[in-house]
């Protein structure tokens, strides 16, 4: 009888440890998208992926686990390295919606691998490699930022300055939240340009939520350009 109850206690302790180990170790995600026209300006130059010039659309930068106090975990499991073969049936969607613009030109594997190792491993208790990338792609489809802005009359290369409020309002209205964050780039002429949009997402990586805390990005000022990504003049051919 005594040995039965001690086995039971040991099992309970093991179960508790498993729950603690497997429970989430972050509070929410930032889902970050970048405007390619501003990325290319930020870097003065950029390189199109080997798979060709991306669409004139926002592209995914990353899905980043974060804590409510503004800090974030990073590179959480060096033993869980990026494995392209696990996401082979997502590759064409990744090429379209998560294109790499860094130089030299690449096929995206390095960028996705970096994002997985630095950020994805910190949500591995909830999302394995396949789910992590699939969720990010689904979030991109759910948050059609370009359409949200266009609906509000904010278009790439429209030659206008937009207020930060009008840009935020257009996106917030479309997504049904009231806290998002916009990061700006300053171009060579000193103009602010919409660069990255941070949306907050619950730990299941499925729903947009109000941001518990805002990131420290580059400030925007109140006269913001939405540059085109149609010119071929500012990218490096390799
Ligand atoms: P993070 O800033 O997310 O820590 O790092 C991004 C890394 O991915 C950098 O090493 C950067 O050079 C590389 N990278 C490759 N393609 C892109 C891209 O299109 N956008 C951004 N932001 N980084 C990229
Ligand atoms: P940057 O200094 O360009 O804003 O950020 C560099 C990199 O640090 C980002 O690409 C991202 O990998 C990470 N990072 C910056 N700010 C945050 C943040 O607030 N939360 C998380 N999770 N990562 C961040």
pLDDT at 4: 54
Kindly write down the DSSP assignment for every residue of 16-68, as one continuous string.
HHHHHHHS--SSEEEEEEE-HHHHHHHTS-B---TT-PPPSS-EEEEEEEE-T
> Which pLDDT belongs to residue 214?
96
Residues 133-153 have pLDDT tens digits of: 999 999 999 999 999 999 999
Residues 6 or more apart whose Cβ sits within 8 Å of residue 53: none
- Residue closest to 173 by CA, chosen among 155, 202, 194, 152: 152
CB-ligand 2 contact for 212 (6 Å cutoff) = no
**Which ligand gives the minimal distance to the CA of 61?**
1
pLDDT of residue 188: 82
Q: What is the pTM of this model?
A: 0.90
| Cα of 110 from ligand 1 centre, angstroms | 9
pLDDT at res. 187: 86
- 75 alpha carbon – ligand 2 mean position (Å): 12
Q: Percentage of residues in the chain with pLDDT exceeding 70?
A: 86
Average per-residue pLDDT in the chain? Answer: 89
pLDDT classification of 23: cutoffs 50, 70, 90: low
Phi/psi for 171 (5° steps) reads: -75, -45
Which one is predicted more confidently, 113 or 218? 113
pLDDT at 13: 45
The contacts of residue 99 (CB under 8 Å, 6+ apart) are 36, 49, 51, 54, 59, 108
**Which of 45, 48, 100 for a ligand 1 pocket mutation test, highest count of atoms within 8 Å of Cβ?**
100
User: Ligand 2 pocket test: which of 215, 218, 219 has the largest number of ligand atoms within 8 Å of its C-beta?
Assistant: 215
User: Given this model, what pLDDT does residue 231 score?
Assistant: 56
pLDDT per residue over 152-210, tens digit each?
A: 999 999 999 999 999 999 999 999 999 999 999 998 888 999 999 999 999 999 999 99
Residues enclosing ligand 1, CB less than 6 A? 34, 39, 61-62, 100-102, 111, 114, 118
pLDDT at 232 over 70: no
Ligand 2 centre distance from Cα of residue 113 (Å): 16
Taking the CA of residue 72 as reference, the ligand 2 atom at the shortest distance is 22
Query: Which pLDDT band holds residue 69 (cuts at 50, 70, 90)?
Result: very high
Positions marked active-site? 61, 115, 119
Assign 5 a pLDDT band (cuts: 50, 70, 90).
Answer: low
Could you say which ligand is closest to the alpha carbon of residue 107? 1
Which residue stretches of the chain are H helix?
2-22, 36-42, 91-97, 109-118, 129-142, 145-151, 164-175
Characterize 153-186 residue by residue with b for buried, 16 or more Cβ atoms within 10 angstroms of its Cβ, and e for exposed.
ebebeeeeebebeebbbbbbebbebebbbbbbbb
Ligand 1, closest atom to CA 46?
Answer: 19
Q: Name the residue at shortest CA distance from atom 16 of ligand 2.
A: 215
* Confidence band of 11 (pLDDT split at 50, 70, 90): very low
- Cα–Cα distance for residue pair 117/127, rounded to 1 Å: 13
């Amino acid at each position: 009888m005594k040995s039965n109850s001690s086995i039971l206690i040991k099992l309970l302790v093991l179960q508790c440890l498993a729950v603690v180990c497997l429970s989430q170790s972050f509070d929410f995600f930032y889902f970050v998208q970048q405007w390619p026209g501003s990325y290319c300006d930020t870097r003065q130059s950029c390189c199109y992926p080997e798979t060709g010039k991306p669409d004139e659309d926002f592209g995914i930068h990353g899905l980043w686990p974060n804590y409510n106090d503004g800090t974030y975990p990073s590179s959480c499991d060096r033993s869980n390295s990026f494995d392209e073969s696990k996401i082979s049936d997502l590759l064409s969607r990744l090429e379209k919606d998560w294109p790499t613009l860094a130089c030299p030109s690449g096929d995206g594997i390095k960028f996705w691998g970096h994002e997985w190792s630095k950020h994805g491993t910190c949500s591995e208790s909830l999302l394995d490699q396949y789910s992590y990338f699939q969720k990010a792609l689904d979030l991109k489809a759910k948050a059609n930022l370009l359409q949200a802005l266009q609906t509000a009359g904010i278009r790439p290369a429209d030659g206008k300055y937009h207020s930060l409020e009008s840009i935020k309002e257009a996106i917030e209205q479309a997504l049904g939240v009231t806290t998002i964050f916009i990061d700006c780039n300053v171009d060579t002429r000193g103009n602010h340009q919409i660069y990255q949009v941070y949306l907050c997402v619950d730990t299941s990586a499925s729903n947009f939520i109000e941001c518990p805390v805002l990131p420290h990005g580059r400030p925007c000022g109140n006269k913001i350009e939405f540059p085109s990504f149609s010119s071929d003049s500012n990218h490096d051919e390799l």
